[in-house]
Amino acid sequence: MPTQTLPSRTRLERLGDVLTSWATKLPSRLRFITPELVGFVILGTFTFAIDMAILAAMNIWFPAVPLPVDVALGYLCAFGLNYVLNRTMNFKSHAPVGSQLLKFVVITLADLGFTTLATTWLADIGVPFAVARVMAACCVGLFTYVAARFWVFRKETVQD
């Protein structure tokens, strides 16, 4: 019977465990809050802050650039970082990058389209752009987690 060796854990994987290990100690009624969900929220919040920083900088330093371009640029930079961090720290995937990245791009484009339209529409009706962007992010967060967890970074079963 062949033995299987597990890949050694990286620093990012260990850091992900440190950030999320408390989720396993929650009361039974809160067990739906998995370490992966906690990690996704932490990393999503971090990359959202990056997104907002890019959006604010573009809005201040390049006011002639249309808001949809600002939103798209910040979003794409943040989602690229989010993919790398979720793959390595949170979902700890060692699967080939190609198909995962392609799936993540599909999710990102769908999210980008909705986020850009929602943020622009809300800003056009008078909602401050930062508030509009936060509102749009709240709408896509759950969809993105479910798609990342069950489609992009799905755990593959090992066949003997």
pLDDT in tens, the chain (160 residues): 556 565 677 888 888 888 888 888 888 888 888 899 999 999 999 998 998 899 899 999 999 999 889 888 998 899 899 999 999 999 988 889 999 999 999 998 898 888 888 889 999 999 998 899 888 888 888 889 999 999 999 876 544 4
Can you point out the beta strands (E) in 7-108?
none
Place of tokens 């939103």: 71
In 3D, which of 154, 109, 138 has the Cα closest to residue 41?
138
Mention every residue, 6+ apart, whose C-beta is less than 8 A from residue 12. 85, 88, 89
DSSP annotation of 83: H
Q: Which helix (H) or strand (E) holds 58?
A: helix 35-61
For residue 160, what pLDDT is reported?
42
Nearest to 90 by CA among 46, 31, 152, 35: 35
Task: State residue 103's pLDDT score.
Answer: 95
Total count of residues recorded for the chain: 160
Helices (H) and strands (E) in the chain, counts: 5, 0
Identify the burial level of 83 via C-beta atoms within 10 angstroms of its C-beta, where 0-12 means exposed, 13-18 middle and 19 or more buried: buried
Which token pair is 98?
A: 């190609």
Residues 6+ apart with CB under 8 A from 92: 9, 13, 16
> What pLDDT was estimated at residue 10?
83
pLDDT of residue 67: 86
Asked if 139 and 117 count as a contact pair (C-beta separation under 8 A), the reply is no
In this prediction, residue 157 carries a pLDDT of 53
- The pLDDT value recorded for residue 22 is 85
pLDDT, position 159 = 47
pLDDT at 131: 92
